[in-house]
A and B are shown apart, each in its own frame.
Chain A
Amino acid sequence: MKQREQIRPFELDPATLKPDDLEILQPEPDGSLPAPLAPAEVTGARKRPWLKLFLSGAAAFALGVVGLDAYDYTLGLFERSVWLGGVFSTLLALAAIGAFGWVGREVWSLRRLAKVDDLRTEGERLMASEAHGQAEDLLRKVEKLYRERTELDRPIWRFHDQASDALNDRERLELFAHTVFQPIDKQAYQIVKRSGRDIGVLTALTPIGALDSLIVLVRTVAMMRAIARLYGVRPGLAATISLAKRGVRNIVIAGVGDLVSHAAVETAGASLLKILSARAGQGAINGLLAARIGLSVMQICRPIPFAQDELPSLKKLRAEIFKELADGREAADKIG
């Protein structure tokens, strides 16, 4: 199995050895493990180089025109009066600085999201392996990610207190996940549940159909950003869009199937029937979809993958959301 020569067991020479001087071992990684898989693109999205060239060219052109125009305009103002030119060029400079700062932040938040992705991919690999000694590195990076979160200091300390060096990488990650991430997961779950319920109720109550979509959009985005913030990915616009894209894509790949089939089973049960007036039913489905997106955003934002039994279940979430909706409807009926 291993190429190197078998070394027979032996006792180290007691004369030259000072047992206390030896370093406690952080075992070296076993080189025989497969290299990490590249994060797979979930959909085989077509590459569109010409479109990209067109779009970036057009954007650069527009930016150039606007910039040149602004420059000419300010120059004109300077000819009219130095004061006027001064004030306006200052404003222009402020705008430019703001724009740079904003773009910088966007890039930063995208990179943070990408970093979380990398960590999670590595984590997934370790969780599937029986390796020893590679988790420390990963966890150090995760801890760095949460350096500023003082409320996590205690759980992280507890993790270090409990983690024995005998744990293999999978066990170490599991222990970290349930000591450090458990409270965050709980909060995120609450956010998802609340958003699902709110969207359900609001879309059921709005009289105008067009307003539905707006409500769903606004509330869903708010939910995604709240979850991302909770896990330490401070999302900018670009990161939010990326999150939304991937959240929805996850559903399209895996989610709708289970969503629909579970919902269909549930339809037979009393819980859905109770709320199935046409509009209320619409609301329930909207809420459910939002909750499903919320769950996949949780998965995307967590730097350590969910273990099999930790993953919040859609089934339980649906039952809870439906129950609250049904209760709300009963209350509404009484009032009405």
Chain B
Amino acid sequence: MASSDWFDPRNLPGMSALQAVPALGSFQRNIDDLINLTLDRTVRLAVTGLRQSGKTVFITTLIHHLLNGQELPFFTPVKQKRLLGARLLPPYVGDPPPFPFETSRASLTAEPPAWPEPTRGLSSLRLELRVANTGFLARQFSDYRSQQIEIIDYPGEWLLDLPMMDQSFEDWSATTIELARSAARRDLAADWLSALDEDAKTKVNAPAGPAERERAATLAELYRRYLKAAQAAGFSFLQPGRMTMPGDLAGAEHLNFCPLPPGAGGPYTLMSDRFEHYRDRVVRPFYADHFSRFDRQIVLVDLISALNRGRAVFEDTQHALNTVMESFRYGASSLIARLFRPRIEKLLFVATKADHVAHNQHHNLRLLLEQMVVNAAGHARFEGVQPVFMAIASLRSTDMVKTDHHGQTLSCVRGRLKGEDRETVLFPGEIPPDLPVDDDWADGRFHFRDFAPRRLRINGGGQPQHIRVDQALDILLGDRLT
């Protein structure tokens, strides 16, 4: 605890030699785990969210503010005036690829600023925070205490694969094909579905060999196109997650599979094998190697876009979120219990882009998010994980202004629209505090616009350039720094 600085086993002579051997990476990682566990040191903060939910901007501004030590008035060490500073640490051997903090920050601080490139896989970054010691005893050892934080960014899509672990290829194919045939997705999947029908007609199993592999690749390609189209249309519940977010598996041949109806012709056995390979060698290891080591988890959700895209997408997002929440229901899922003993102690769900609506809508935004996963959250609570909900904006890009509209005062937002080069004022509409009903979808009520970023101040200070990022940070890490 307080005395963790005077002895660091990593500095022992043998240890540095160990670090130099790449083959020992995973062994090294386990030792690191052990050291950190005993010294109570590194906190692994996992950040996830579906595509376009603002993970990169969140992590970038969070680290930026931490490095500056400013604009975080609700973060406990700042509140107590004990935060001495923060610095980035070089990655350890065996760490995932580094999070592109510098380039992301550069694009936000450039003139004109632009939203950074989204990240496409697992990446991480290590930080060290130093906090002044206050206790009399602790001060005898050291004036400050340091806390290492590893921020891990991974696509939320990967969590959607969790149900696959309990399914056979047959079950999975049945549910997935049914979903593809649903009214909202039928058109997007048309090409792939007709290819399936064609195979069903011929009823011939392609002979093993190049022909079979070729057919598999074609079908998988059609399926991938469907997933990409669905993703572009705003759908989130797309399995397998690595097809839309391949990460380090981009272009791997064993990813070339897709659901097939039972007894179908075509490369059924091959697909089934690849499915099992995916399930056992990709999904499972993700949970066992990464997910099981997270201490704190924040899930970002872009509710505003989901509302914009209409009912089908909104309900799909809700389904995806509930599936994501399943991953945090350890006790109920014997599956997870079989894999590892999880240790996520804090779970935070945030609705991002809160600056796109007026301040008085933040409360509703939070309530709506809570409402979307109310059942799954209840189950998680039952298992002892307390999900917290919040509405935040990582980089505030609008002001709130009031206008007079036919005798009513309206709360409007002022900012630069994405892709347009002028400042404008709009009444963004209101967020329903509860799940939208039929009427809400019918009358074009949701039409939220995307804004271009405001330039991130390089030297912080003054009014925070975010909304509630400090409070989110405090929930996630505050207790480790008191």
Which residues of A come within 8 Å of B, CB atoms?
1, 4, 6-12, 14, 17, 19, 22-25, 27-28, 30, 130, 132-133, 161-166, 168, 171, 174-175, 178-179, 182
Contacts and interface: CB of A to CB of B under 8 A. Distances in A.
Given A1-B433, A6-B445, A175-B73, A12 B427 contact: yes
B352 to A, nearest CB: 14
26 contacts: A6-B430, A6-B443, A7-B408, A9-B426, A9-B428, A9-B447, A10-B426, A11-B424, A11-B426, A11-B449, A12-B412, A14-B424, A22-B402, A22-B414, A27-B358, A27-B400, A27-B402, A132-B363, A162-B71, A162-B462, A162-B463, A162-B464, A165-B400, A166-B354, A166-B355, A166-B362
B464 A30 contact: no
Nearest to B446: A9
A164 B464 contact: yes
B471 A171 contact: yes
A161 B423 CA distance: 25
A172 to B, nearest CB: 11
A22 B359 CA distance: 16
Given A11-B426, A163-B463, 14 more contacts: A7-B427, A8-B429, A8-B444, A9-B445, A9-B447, A12-B403, A12-B427, A14-B424, A25-B358, A27-B411, A132-B359, A164-B396, A166-B355, A178-B79
A164 B393 CA distance: 12
Contact of B74 (A9, A132, A166, A171): A171
Nearest to A166: B467
Contacts of B359: 27, 132, 165-166, 168
B433 A25 contact: no
Given A1-B433, A4-B408, A9-B428, A23 B447 contact: no
A23 B412 CA distance: 11
A174 to B, nearest CB: 8
A14 B443 CA distance: 24
B410 interface: yes
Contacts of A182: 79
Contacts of B428: 9
A11 B423 CA distance: 11
Interface in B147-195: none
Contacts of B334: none
A132 B401 CA distance: 14
Contact of B448 (A1, A9, A10): A9
Interface in B68-101: 71, 73-74, 79
B401 A22 contact: yes
Contacts of B467: 164, 166
B202 interface: no
A31 to B, nearest CB: 12
B426 A8 contact: no
A14 B417 CA distance: 13
Nearest to A17: B425
Contacts of A8: 429, 443-445, 447
Contacts of A14: 422, 424
A7 B425 contact: no
Nearest to B71: A162
A164 B424 CA distance: 21
Contacts of A17: 424-425
7 shortest A-B CB distances, which residue pairs?
Answer: A9-B429, A25-B402, A22-B401, A130-B363, A11-B426, A166-B467, A162-B73
B399 interface: yes
Nearest to A9: B429
A28 B409 contact: yes
